[in-house]
Structure 1
Amino acid sequence: MSKKLIGLTLVAVLIGVAIAGVVKDNIEKTTEFDNIALGSDVDFLATEQGLAKGEMAPDFELTTLDGKRVKLSDYKGKKVILNFWATWCPPCRAEMPHMQAYYEEQAASDNVEILAVNLTKEDHGLEKIKTFKEEYGLSFPIPMDEKGEIGSLYQAVTIPTSYILDTQGRVQTKFVGPMDQATIENIISTMD
């Protein structure tokens, strides 16, 4: 009987150690996310996925929801918020009114363009995207990533994901999760 008790105790200790490790890892990730979500001075560039700070953003050409061809390189000389989103994404829905308000109120004076790349391959059809645009009154360009190549290139696995590019097209920040207007203003104000 004592061997069973020792064995059960050993198993319980090992399970406890495993749970403690998982909890510690989750606490670290949650704290990191909270710092990012609150717009703290944390460098929110992902080190494991996506482009690193200072890298040139890969150029691409897509057709917008309005049928116009846009190239990322056409925006050289402007700061660019390159946002990846889909209509079914609740955080994207929460973010869009803030992006639109910033675009209307400050983008021009801050020399900023917003390119909200819709992950069309993962979305629910063109009509849903058009309805979404109308519902939120979006006036910035919405390039359509119909094949999913640009989202993959920028490793936009979790959405919304936004890359903030400087006037030369270099990555300054990667932000994963929804941004509010104050966060956008804070990020843009820290750029040259």
Structure 2
Amino acid sequence: FGDVKDKTIADLCAAPGGKTAQLVHAGAQVTAVDRSPNRIARLRENLSRLSLEAGTAVADALEWQPPAGELFDGVLIDAPCAATGTIRRHPDVAWLKQEADIGALAAVQKRMLQKAATLLKPGGTLVYCTCSLEPEEGEQAVASVLAAESGLRRAPVGRDEVAGLDEILTADGDIRTLPSHLAHADSRLGGLDGFYAARLIKS
């Protein structure tokens, strides 16, 4: 997002609130949305413990309507995903997730991207991320929404924004980390989690 001071940001699928807290700490006015009352309660507890404040809403992100039709400077989607990027720490993922699960999740993710486009002000920023290795949940989901006349365009992440980790940037300027990245940095765990992030701008 860059400098978020005094910017309004909707954090969809926000609980338990780690990213919400970081955004609030950086000066953003955040509305945190999650469909689980228990998870929103946990998010509120976490913010209180950190002496931070954010607006909250218990709602399905796909159906949520902000008060008075408010539009946001930014929307964050840390989307529900197959979590295959965590396989080095959670090897059971390979047995728990089926191909059909990935297809179903990818369909929801595309709908979430389309919904997010409707919540942004012109010139607003959408950050979409998943901890998945599957292109259906990353590159393909973003390509789909860009092709759907959603009013979104890609805002490539620059080399100066990734602290010299050029290997994690895709040709399109998205972020794609793999378990093989930085494998030398931690011989016990062997690299990074798999992760994908894209930055899009509303025209």
- TM-score, normalised with respect to structure 1: 0.31
Which structure carries more helix by proportion?
Answer: 1
Specify which structure has the bigger relative contact order, considering alpha-carbon pairs within 8 angstroms and separated by 6 or more residues: 1
Structure of higher CA gyration radius: 1
- The two structures have a TM-score, normalised by structure 2, of 0.30
